[in-house]
Copies of this chain bind each other. A is one copy, B any other.
């Protein structure tokens, strides 16, 4: 059993567990559950937690250089072991969607935009739930219902910060800090994607001034090979040997 095989097998179960978790968590917090419904929601969340624990342990056991895998997955360990971090488990679902693979140019930018909007929406929803759970009933708190919590999350992630609502508990403030960091990252991704588009567009229209391409280089090389009387294909292949012009090493 390899990590890739395990990932393929657990793709849909983990996605389902994530969705089940968020539904149960939303229900518990928004409806302010008490008694039996509260117990039901907690049991559902406990079961989805077990799914993530099992997934973590299996991956740890089949990873080949186990120490290295462990060091690269400290975040996963924190999320499954610290109860307070349980809402972050949903972010794991996002890492299951490998939407950024094998695209470039405008297609890549569209996917980054979609992915960024999705991540921001999940972050706002989770942060609103977590803050509301922490603040509701706390002395001096002003975030008392889910509508206000979502509004507060939007005001925070965009770094507007009116100050009409703000967390006063320690855990509520910790959630707020994660949301602010997410806001800085979202603004950064938006700007970076726009910058990529502007730069590409600004270089167009003066085709003479664009950098010579690798395809053009190959034409030159073939022409020279013809001059030398060598068959273009084979010689070119030999000569090209030392040139790493496939996926460049620095971007791997």
Contact = CB atoms under 8 A, between A and B. Distances in A.
A82 interface: no
Interface in A211-244: 211-217, 219-228, 239-240, 242-244
A48 interface: no
A9 interface: no
A215 B193 CA distance: 29
A161 B166 contact: no
B219 A239 contact: yes
Contacts of A85: none
Interface stretch (A26-34, A49-57, A151-159): A151-159
Nearest to A190: B188
B162 A162 contact: yes
Interface stretch (A64-72, A89-97, A103-111, A130-138): A103-111
A192 to B, nearest CB: 4
Given A215-B242, A239-B223, A243-B215, A105 B173 contact: no
Looking at chain A's contact residues, the main secondary structure is helix
Interface string A238-252: 011011111111111
A243 B214 contact: no
Interface residues of A, number: 87
A248 to B, nearest CB: 5
- Among A100, A164, A198, A222, the most chain B Cβ lie within 10 Å of the Cβ of A198
A74 interface: no
Nearest to A147: B170
Contacts of A184: 158, 186-187, 190
Contacts of A214: 207-213, 216
Contact of A104 (B161, B185, B189, B203): B203
7 contacts: A104-B204, A195-B198, A207-B247, A208-B244, A209-B244, A212-B212, A226-B228
4 interchain residue pairs of minimum CB distance:
A105-B250, A104-B205, A211-B211, A160-B161
Given A109-B198, A215-B245, 19 more contacts: A103-B205, A105-B251, A107-B250, A155-B180, A159-B159, A162-B162, A185-B190, A185-B194, A188-B194, A195-B195, A206-B248, A207-B247, A209-B215, A212-B213, A215-B242, A216-B243, A217-B220, A223-B225, A224-B227
